[in-house]
Amino acid sequence: MGAFLAPFARADERLPGPSPAPVMKTAHESAAMPNADAMREAENVLRELKAGNKRFRAGRARHPHMTVARIRETARGQHPFAVVLSCADSRVPPEIFLDQGIGDLFTVRVAGNVANTDEIASVEYAVEHLSTPLCVVVGHTRCGAVTAVVNGDKVSAEIAHLVQHIGEAVEKTRKHKPALEGSQLIEESVRVNVWESIEDLTRGSETIAGRVHQGRLKVVGAVYNVETGAVDWMGTNSGALSILR
Ligand SMILES: [Zn+2]
């Protein structure tokens, strides 16, 4: 972690004076960071998350930042280096499969990793007030929410509202790849649903769209495999971000 941590000053070094910064209200110095540096930071963060998943899969997880000292350090202010939007599924905990610890990831979890108003606002908070340089939207294989939509299962009005965006993803998948069915249709819909959420994030927040447009925020898609523990990094879909052009 040594080399990786270099771009991220210790929390107490960022603070202007001895008084502790309130949690969730710290001004992040990289807010004024030149765009090229912000993108380099985003690439460093992405590299570390990829390395973390490799460690996890290989049984060599380091479980970083889990100490009492880390709790005390982060109590003075949080500086997460990535915001992660992922499914609430119990098999898909981002801190564990990316081998990160306390204060590292600003995590938003909701069934089907959809981006409705609350999720968009949460991601926007991390991006704007914590100047997080990287946003990862993570879907996963065998997702119950996506499966329910593909199968047309009867659900309550609340769940129907929750999964409305997944319906759009499944529709797009059926339209573009009509030959797919069963588990193949579900797995492809999971991927399309990730792009759908990225599109909803940028379409639903001027702040998020603005930061991407200015080169101050990188948004990438990924799918976690619940059978192998591996993350399939999908990169940035220019189509999903077409609204910015
Ligand atoms: Zn799921």
Secondary structure of 111-156 as H, E, C letters: HHHCCCHHHHHHHHHHHHHCCCCEEEEEEECCCHHHHHHHHCCCCC
Residues 19-75: pLDDT tens digits? 333 333 333 444 456 688 889 999 999 999 999 999 999 999 999 999 999 999 999
Of residues 87 and 4, more confidence is placed in 87
Residues 154-168: pLDDT tens digits? 999 999 998 999 999
Q: How far is the CA of 111 from the centre of ligand 1 (A)?
A: 6
Q: How far is the CA of 97 from the centre of ligand 1 (A)?
A: 15
Q: In what order do the strands lie in the sheet with 105-109?
A: 105-109, 82-86, 134-140, 218-224, 231-235
Mean pLDDT score, 146-157: 94
Q: How far is the CA of 231 from the centre of ligand 1 (A)?
A: 14
Q: How far is the CA of 90 from the centre of ligand 1 (A)?
A: 9
Q: How far is the CA of 92 from the centre of ligand 1 (A)?
A: 8
Q: How far is the CA of 154 from the centre of ligand 1 (A)?
A: 17
Q: How far is the CA of 197 from the centre of ligand 1 (A)?
A: 13
Fill in the DSSP letter of residue 76: T
Q: How far is the CA of 139 from the centre of ligand 1 (A)?
A: 7
Spell out which residues have Cβ within 5 A of ligand 1, the ion.
87, 89, 143
CATH says 33-236 is which class?
alpha beta
Kindly report the pTM of this predicted structure.
0.84
What is the distance between the alpha carbons of residues 112 and 98, in angstroms, rounded to a whole number? 19
Of residues 113 and 3, more confidence is placed in 113
Give the residue among 206, 196, 205 at the shortest CA–CA distance from 237. Answer: 196
Residues 72-131: pLDDT tens digits? 999 999 999 999 999 999 999 999 999 999 999 999 999 999 999 999 999 999 999 999
Q: How far is the CA of 14 from the centre of ligand 1 (A)?
A: 37
What is the distance between the alpha carbons of residues 6 and 1, in angstroms, rounded to a whole number? 9
Q: Is the backbone of residue 113 left (phi > 0), alpha (psi -120 to 50) or beta?
A: left
Q: How far is the CA of 65 from the centre of ligand 1 (A)?
A: 27
Contact 62, 1 (CB under 8 A): yes
Contact partners, residue 60, CB within 8 Å, separation at least 6: none
Helix ranges (H only) for the chain are 2-5, 11-14, 35-57, 68-75, 94-97, 117-129, 144-151, 157-162, 164-176, 182-204, 206-213
